[in-house]
Each structure stands twice: as structure tokens, then as C-alpha cells.
């Protein structure tokens, strides 16, 4: 069978796989439900990995053992034991261990440049990684949606439910947000909100999707929705600030890149503008941008790069 490269971007909601031949020609791109290792656990994640990868290889008539390089950028790779669990899942499928690169799905963007860089992701969850000029990697946040994931879609969705609950309790007024949530979800009583949270607390994507309605309400001027955005923007800036503080000192001649990624930061222009303004004030001179290359394409690039480096050793 022919050799190939594979890049994977596995988030808490969706998993994506892209495969190219040894000549770089794209052979296929696939999607399936995602997972987060630190939330969903090793066994559920193992099954999700298999459900994404094995049908794709079968469709393309490819064998795991013929893979020339594979980069798995996955949510929830938060410790050496998490990396081991993820690696084990792919080795079990037959991928050669020496050709397997496993990274947190946020960390993969640090492979886009050799300069000191930060990347903050806010999607279903949130996390920030930084790499200093010595090549050392630092991380802040993203430990799970109960104690962390500040400024994420889940955080925004939960704050939305709290605000609507307070409105229904007569404590505050959300003239746009509450009617919108009731219309879109049917959550028109505190009892229904309580049941919804209890049913979906571990399936965080269901709560995270409510962030879309918070954005719509904020765009229409709902002051509580704007407050939720401000709080989440401040939290994301805190992740960036604290990660930068851990990195080795940056001289005035050193370039610092900050990449913004994830559905919240890419699609929600309100919160993105808030974060950018905080960074311009707190880290002047930082080059801020949304990666032109997706996490999936970056992972595929890293897979090809690591194989090239392996052959030159």
C-alpha cells in the first residue's frame, strides 16, 4: 500500500482528519463527533478516535502501518498520562509509534512560526499556550469546564443561563436575551433551566451553543449580554497575560505573535475586539492575528515536517 501523511484536529465538539499522499496531494478530508480526553475519558476518546480514523482509511484503502507521519492535535491532552492514552489509541490502530506526534489542539499553532508566540483558543473550551525564544512551552487554563475554560463558549453559555435565570427570578432585566433564549430553547422556567443544566453539564457543547444567542443579544444592545461578553473577554486576556508572564523575557528586538483561534474568537467579533484592545494596551507591539492556516492544515504540515526531520537525523 502507498504511504501517506495524516493530520487530525479533534476538538470537544468535532473531529477532523485530512490525509495527503507522499507528494502532498490531498486524498481526503473527514469529520466525525469529537471528544476531550480530560472530560470524556480515555475509553470514550479511544472510540471517537477510531470512529474518525478507521472508516476514512478503509474508504481510501490505506493501512495505518504505511503512514509516513501523523500529527494528532487533540483537545484534553493536558499531561504526560493524557498523551500516553492518546498515543496508545493510535498505536493500537497500527500507526508506527516513531511517526506519531501528539499535541494539545491549541499547542499545534505554535508550529506556525519559529518566533516567540502565544496562541489562545476559545471554542467549546479555552486554553492558552506560549513558546518563548528558548523553545520552552507554557500553558494557562483549559483544565476542564468545571474549574477552568474561562472565556469559552461553555463559560459564556453558562453565564447566559444564569442571566436568564436571574431575569426569570425578577432580579435583573434581559430584554433581548431572555426572550431569545425562550424562543430558541423553550427554557422559560427556572425548573427547566435547572433540568437542562443537570442533563448537559458533562456534554458541554449543548451549553456552549447558547453563546451564539448571547452574541445575537449583545449585537442588539442587551446590556446583560454585553456584560457577559466583557467578562469573557477579560478572562481570555487573563489567560494571555498570565501565559506571557511565564515566558522568558522578550527583548525589544524580538517579535511576538499572538494567534486567536476557536469559534468564539473567530466568529464573535464583539469578544474578539475586546480581547484585541486588551492586548494592544497590555502587550504593546504584539502582532495579533487569526491563523491563515487551520488547525487541521497545521497538524498535517507538522506531520510532514516531523517526518522530514526524522529522516535527517
CB 38 within 8 A of CB 19: no
Helix (H) or strand (E) holding 194: helix 190-200
pTM recorded for the entire structure: 0.79
Q: How far is CA 297 from CA 6, 72, 186, 262, 292, in A?
A: 10, 11, 39, 15, 10
Neighbours of 308 (CB within 10 A): 11
Burial class for 104, CB neighbours closer than 10 Å (0-12, 13-18, 19+): buried
Helix (H) or strand (E) holding 235: helix 223-246
Residuewise pLDDT in 10s, the chain (313 residues):
689 999 999 988 899 999 999 999 999 999 999 998 877 899 999 999 999 999 999 999 999 999 999 999 998 888 889 999 999 999 999 999 999 999 988 788 887 777 899 999 999 889 999 999 888 889 999 887 889 999 999 999 999 999 999 999 999 999 999 999 999 999 999 999 999 999 999 878 899 999 999 999 999 999 999 999 999 999 999 999 999 999 976 555 568 999 998 899 999 999 999 999 999 999 999 999 998 888 899 999 999 987 666 666 5
Helix (H) or strand (E) holding 208: helix 204-208
Helices and strands in the chain: count of H runs, count of E runs:
11, 10
Q: How far apart are the first and last CA of the chain?
A: 26
Amino acid at each position: 500500500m502507498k504511504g501517506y501523511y495524516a493530520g487530525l484536529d479533534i476538538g470537544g465538539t468535532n473531529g477532523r482528519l485530512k490525509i495527503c499522499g507522499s507528494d502532498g496531494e490531498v486524498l481526503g478530508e473527514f469529520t466525525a463527533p469529537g471528544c476531550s480526553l480530560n472530560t470524556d475519558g480515555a475509553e470514550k476518546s479511544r472510540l471517537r478516535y477510531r470512529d474518525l480514523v478507521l472508516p476514512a482509511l478503509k474508504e481510501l484503502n490505506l493501512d495505518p502501518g504505511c503512514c509516513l507521519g501523523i500529527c494528532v492535535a487533540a483537545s484534553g491532552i493536558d499531561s504526560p498520562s493524557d498523551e500516553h492514552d492518546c498515543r496508545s489509541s493510535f498505536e493500537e490502530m497500527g500507526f508506527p509509534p516513531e511517526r506519531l506526534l501528539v499535541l494539545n489542539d491549541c499547542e499545534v499553532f505554535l508550529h506556525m512560526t519559529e518566533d516567540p508566540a502565544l496562541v489562545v483558543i476559545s471554542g467549546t473550551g479555552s486554553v492558552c499556550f506560549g513558546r518563548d525564544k528558548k523553545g520552552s512551552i507554557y500553558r494557562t487554563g483549559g483544565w476542564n469546564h468545571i474549574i477552568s475554560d474561562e472565556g469559552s463558549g461553555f463559560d459564556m453559555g453558562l453565564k447566559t443561563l444564569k442571566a436568564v435565570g436571574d431575569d426569570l427570578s425578577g432580579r435583573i432585566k434581559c430584554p433581548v436575551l431572555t426572550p431569545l433564549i425562550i424562543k430558541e430553547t423553550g427554557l422559560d422556567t427556572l425548573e427547566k433551566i435547572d433540568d437542562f443544566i443537570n442533563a448537559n453539564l458533562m456534554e458541554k457543547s449543548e451549553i456552549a451553543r447558547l453563546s451564539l444567542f448571547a452574541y445575537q443579544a449583545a449585537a442588539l444592545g442587551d446590556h446583560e449580554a454585553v456584560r457577559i461578553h466583557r467578562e469573557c473577554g477579560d478572562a481570555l486576556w487573563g489567560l494571555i497575560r498570565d501565559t506571557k508572564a511565564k515566558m522568558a523575557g522578550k527583548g525589544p528586538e524580538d517579535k511576538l505573535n499572538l494567534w486567536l483561534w476557536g469559534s468564539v474568537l473567530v466568529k464573535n467579533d464583539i469578544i474578539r475586539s475586546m480581547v484585541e484592545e486588551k492586548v494592544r494596551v497590555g502587550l504593546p507591539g504584539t502582532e495579533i492575528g487569526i491563523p491563515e492556516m487551520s488547525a487541521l492544515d497545521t497538524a498535517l504540515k507538522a506531520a510532514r515536517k516531523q517526518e522530514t526531520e526524522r529522516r535527517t537525523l
